[in-house]
Amino acid sequence: MKSKFFFPDGQNSALVRKLTKQYSVSTVCQEARCPNRGLCWENLSATFLLLGPYCTRSCRFCYVKKGKPSEVDYLNIDKFASSLANLNIKYYTFTMVTRDDLPDHGVYYLKSLFYKIKEAKPDSYIEVLISDLGGDYKNLYNLLKDKDLVDVLAHNIETVKRLTPLIRDKRFSYEKSLQVLYNAKQIRNNVITKSSIILGFGEEKEEVFETMDDLLKVNCQALTIGQYFRPSLKNIEVKKVYSDQEFELFEKVALEKGFLFVKAGKNVRTSYKAYEIIKIIDSLKNLK
Ligand code: SF4
């Protein structure tokens, strides 16, 4: 039977697969069973899942494996970075599992990797989707303080305030996530901040608009809105599937409210067409 997805079997997909095996990293495209993965990989856009594959938290919508975290491969950072730098990619997107077991929540690893990539490819861009780094300002400061290392700092609010305790691991909170985004802009004004809302958990439209307002209050500049698809029976069920017209409405409202960059749609995930933000990054580079 023909797959309904673009299966990742082309040359570039093979390259991404090779890298993930060689350095024991995975892509969030695989871990989260993203429906766009074949298409993205062929365009050499893959979101690498760092510090994984095991996450120390258990959000109820998430398919990333939970369990005892793996050893961090500090020794191969240089090799991994140079392999990444050799890929025909200008805009790198990374995400991470939450590492509550590490005192710095993984910041040293992230920074070391990004330094090496930027050293080899100074004209590249880096977007990283982070955990809340334990809610520790010092960790965020260490990640962001260096000018031009991280271009886009993403931290996902995921859902509306009312549903956060039901959907997310108890160690996350709606307010803490807003604080992460607020702090990021305080630390470095020229970093673009980004967040994502997943729909389909039983939220009301008004609550989604309120979440947009809350994100704008902490100066979050980019937003993605996507549909939740239950990845397995262990995950929370889908309460509603939104129509394309409803996603169009959310995108229109978010732009009118003041986000600089918005992508909304059924298959949209945090890194969806992320590279389109380059123009905005360049225009902010002269600040601070
Ligand atoms: S923190 Fe939650 S959403 Fe993020 S990888 Fe872990 S379980 Fe998934």
Give a yes or no: residue 102 inside a domain.
yes
For the ranges 1-5, 21-25, 222-226, the one whose mean pLDDT is highest = 222-226
Q: What is the pLDDT of residues 81-102, one digit of tens each?
A: 988 888 778 889 999 999 999 9
CA of 7 to the centre of ligand 1 (A): 25
| Residue 45 within any structural domain of the chain | yes
pLDDT of residue 102: 97
Strands (E), the chain: 26-27, 47-50, 91-96, 125-129, 152-154, 192-199, 222-227, 261-265
Residue 5 inside a domain? The answer is no
For the CA of 52, the nearest atom of ligand 1: 5
The tens digit of pLDDT for each residue in 135-169 reads: 999 999 999 999 889 999 999 999 999 999 999 99
Protein residue whose Cα sits closest to atom 8 of ligand 1? 62
Backbone angles phi, psi at 82, to 5 degrees: -70, -30
For ligand 1, whether the C-beta of 177 sits within 6 Å is no
Distance of alpha carbon 282 from alpha carbon 127, whole angstroms = 14
> How far, in Å, is the centroid of ligand 1 from the Cα of 1?
32
Q: Omega before 8 cis (within 30°)?
A: no
Cβ partners under 8 Å of residue 190, min gap 6:
147, 284, 285, 286, 287, 288
Write the Ramachandran bin of 258: left for phi over 0, alpha for psi from -120 to 50, otherwise beta. left
Cα(58) to centroid(ligand 1), Å: 6
Q: Model confidence over 32-79: pLDDT tens digits?
A: 666 666 666 666 666 888 998 899 999 999 988 888 898 999 998 999
CA 271 to CA 284: how far, in whole Å? 20
d(CA 19, CA 97): 18
Ligand 1 binding pocket includes 277 (Cβ within 6 Å): no
Specify the pTM.
0.89
Predicted pLDDT of residue 5: 37
Residue 253 has pLDDT above 90, yes or no: yes
From the CB of 105, is ligand 1 less than 6 Å away? no
Residue 1 domain-assigned? Answer: no
Map tokens 């892509």 to a residue.
27
- Give me the chain's average pLDDT, please: 88
In a domain, 42, yes or no: yes
Token digits for 285?
Answer: 């580079």
Q: How many domains does the chain have?
A: 1
pLDDT band at 1 (very low <50, low <70, confident <90, very high): very low
How far away, in angstroms, is 133 Cα from ligand 1 center?
A: 12
In a domain, 2, yes or no: no
Does 186 fall in a domain? yes
Domain span holding position 15:
11-284
CATH number of domain containing 257: 3.20.20.70
Which strand ranges, in their side-by-side order, compose the sheet holding 222-227? 26-27, 47-50, 91-96, 125-129, 152-154, 192-199, 222-227, 261-265
Which tokens sit at 69?
């975290």
CA-nearest residue, atom 5 of ligand 1: 97
- The answer as to whether 6 is a domain residue is no
Average pLDDT over residues 251-276: 92
Q: What's the gap in Å between 220 CA and the centre of ligand 1?
A: 21
User: Percentage of the chain surpassing pLDDT 70?
Assistant: 85
Distances (CA, A) of 30 to 13, 33, 53, 116, 183: 11, 5, 11, 25, 31
59 lines ligand 1 (CB under 6 A): yes
> Residue 80 C-alpha to ligand 1 middle, in angstroms?
23
Q: Is the CB of 58 under 6 A from ligand 1?
A: yes
Mean pLDDT on 18-22: 73
Exposed (0-12), middle (13-18) or buried (19+): which is 71, by Cβ within 10 Å? exposed
| 97 ligand 1 Cβ < 6 A | yes
Pocket lining: 62 vs ligand 1, CB cutoff 6 Å: yes
Higher pLDDT, 231 or 38: 231
Q: pLDDT higher for 16 or 258?
A: 258
pLDDT band at 185 (very low <50, low <70, confident <90, very high): very high
